[in-house]
């Protein structure tokens, strides 16, 4: 078995490679646009391949030799679904860590083609989206009639990720997005409606804001709910205020300029690397699902905390990769995580990684 990880030398990609190396015997090939070496901690089963995604012939050759392809080369705002298309043509299963609505829609358009080719393709497989989607499915299955999903995410400092994640945050501020509220799509401004949410220790009460995520539209298409809320926040809180200023005060022309995004991303990455020493680089997720159970209105709440956001993202993708390689998961087509991954498999793989999800009725 050979796993090809595109963008595998990045922070998220290398964490995906590490998880797969720890839990499977697969040969892992990570790609980078430039030549280099593989970190010793990844082990002997990991090799490096110099590959530019723009080189179509080399990309096709690499995919054709693989059992599974994992796309980690973000930011996905700028990507098309060409990698998925090539995987379908060669009958190779596919995962990605995408986190943007436009890319997800491009990928989902290949659902029929993937199904016909017998290819299982699952998008948005990191921590959020990814593990968070499965937490929602876990909660929805506890209710007779789910009505409202409220997802809150909190990241400390840089989250242990690279500058690409910072680019993703600022790219997400460029324009309003549609949210499913009271059974209709309503336009929401990013980083608006500041809300205090109670997270598990060590975070406690923290603030989150509306943020455009793929699960904002995949969850309403998967579950018959009235409302889906997706909110994001940072620790320390002053980063939230700076991001709010960028979203609400900066001129739109500035936020749509690639050079400005690059500048803001690099400045933010520099700042978080300084504050990481006291803020940490962890992540917290809170998923609340409100609905009816045995005739009464109830709220199911699940929470997760991990000390390293990048590693948690690697686990989200690595667990699904393991299931595909072991042929425990086979669902031809293109799917979001909550559509593809059964709860029993989700729970068993989280347990195998020592990930604890706390569940309560409110």
Can you say whether residue 165 is alpha, beta or left, with left for phi > 0 and alpha for psi between -120 and 50 degrees?
alpha
Residues in the chain: 362
Measured CA to CA, the distance from residue 127 to residue 259 in angstroms comes to 28
CA quadruple 183, 335, 61, 59: dihedral sign:
positive
What pLDDT was estimated at residue 252? 82
Read off the pTM.
0.94
What pLDDT was estimated at residue 166? 87
Give the pLDDT confidence of 240-274 residue by residue, as tens digits. Answer: 999 999 999 988 888 888 888 899 889 999 999 99
What pLDDT was estimated at residue 35? 67
pLDDT above 80 for 41:
no
Q: Where are the domains of the chain?
A: 2-126+311-355, 131-309
What pLDDT was estimated at residue 163? 84
Q: Phi then psi for 184, rounded to 5 degrees?
A: -150, 155
> Among residues of the chain, what percentage have pLDDT more than 90?
83
Give the pLDDT confidence of 58-96 residue by residue, as tens digits. Answer: 999 999 999 999 999 988 988 999 999 999 999 999 999
pLDDT band at residue 36 using 50, 70 and 90 as cut-offs: low
Measured CA to CA, the distance from residue 172 to residue 64 in angstroms comes to 34
Residue 127 burial by Cβ neighbours in a 10 Å radius (0-12, 13-18, 19+): buried
b/e code 345-362 from CB counts within 10 Å (16+ = b): bbeebbeebebebeeeee
Cβ(36)–Cβ(48) below 8 Å: yes
Q: Enter the DSSP assignment of 193.
A: S
Here the tokens at position 239 are 């980063």
b/e code 187-211 from CB counts within 10 Å (16+ = b): ebebbeeeeebebeeebeebbbbbb
What pLDDT was estimated at residue 39? 65
Cβ(204)–Cβ(148) below 8 Å: no
Give the pLDDT confidence of 309-330 residue by residue, as tens digits. Answer: 999 999 999 999 999 999 999 9
Give the pLDDT confidence of 275-317 residue by residue, as tens digits. Answer: 999 999 999 999 999 999 999 999 999 999 999 999 999 999 9
Answer CATH for 131-309 from 3.40.50.740, 3.60.40.10, 3.30.360.10, 3.40.190.10: 3.30.360.10
Give the pLDDT confidence of 114-163 residue by residue, as tens digits. Answer: 999 999 999 999 999 999 999 999 999 999 999 999 999 999 999 988 78
What pLDDT was estimated at residue 251? 86
Q: In 141-250, which residue ranges form alpha helices assigned H by DSSP? A: 163-171, 215-222, 238-248
The domain defined by 2-126+311-355 carries CATH number 3.40.50.720: yes
What pLDDT was estimated at residue 78? 82
pLDDT above 70 for 201:
yes
For the segment 341-349, the average pLDDT, to the nearest whole number, is: 98
For the segment 14-24, the average pLDDT, to the nearest whole number, is: 96
């Amino acid at each position: 078995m050979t796993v090809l990880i595109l963008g595998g030398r990045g922070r998220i990609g290398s964490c995906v490679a590490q998880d797969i190396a720890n839990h499977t015997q697969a040969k892992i090939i990570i790609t980078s646009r430039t030549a280099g070496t593989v970190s010793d901690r990844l082990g002997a089963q990991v090799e490096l391949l110099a590959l530019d995604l723009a080189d179509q012939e080399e990309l096709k050759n690499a995919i054709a030799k693989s059992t599974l392809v994992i796309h980690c080369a973000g930011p996905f705002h700028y990507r098309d679904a060409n990698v998925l298309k090539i995987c379908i043509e060669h009958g190779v299963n596919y995962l990605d860590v995408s986190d943007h609505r436009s890319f997800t829609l491009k990928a989902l358009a290949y659902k029929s083609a993937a199904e016909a080719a017998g290819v299982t393709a699952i998008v948005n497989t990191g921590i959020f989206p990814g593990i968070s989607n499965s937490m929602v499915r876990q909660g929805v299955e506890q209710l007779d009639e789910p009505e409202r999903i409220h997802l809150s995410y909190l990241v400390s400092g840089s989250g242990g990720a690279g500058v690409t994640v910072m680019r993703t945050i600022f790219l997400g501020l460029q324009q309003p997005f549609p949210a499913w509220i009271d059974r209709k799509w309503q336009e929401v401004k990013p980083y608006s409606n500041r809300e205090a949410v109670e997270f598990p220790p060590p975070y406690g009460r923290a603030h989150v804001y509306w943020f455009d995520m793929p699960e904002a539209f995949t969850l309403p298409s998967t579950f018959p709910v009235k409302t889906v809320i997706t909110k994001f926040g940072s620790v320390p809180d002053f980063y939230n205020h700076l991001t709010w200023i960028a979203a609400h005060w900066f001129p739109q022309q500035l936020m749509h300029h690639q050079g400005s995004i690059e500048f803001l991303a690099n400045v933010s990455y520099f700042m978080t690397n300084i504050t990481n020493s006291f803020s940490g680089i962890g992540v917290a997720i809170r998923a609340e699902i409100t609905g009816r159970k045995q005739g009464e209105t109830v709220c199911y709440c699940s929470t997760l905390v991990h000390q390293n956001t990048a590693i948690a993202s690697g686990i989200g993708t690595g667990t699904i990769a393991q299931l595909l390689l072991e042929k425990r998961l086979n669902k031809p087509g293109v799917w979001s995580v909550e559509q593809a991954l059964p709860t029993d498999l989700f729970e068993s793989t989280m347990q195998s990684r020592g990930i604890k999800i706390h569940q309560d009725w409110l």
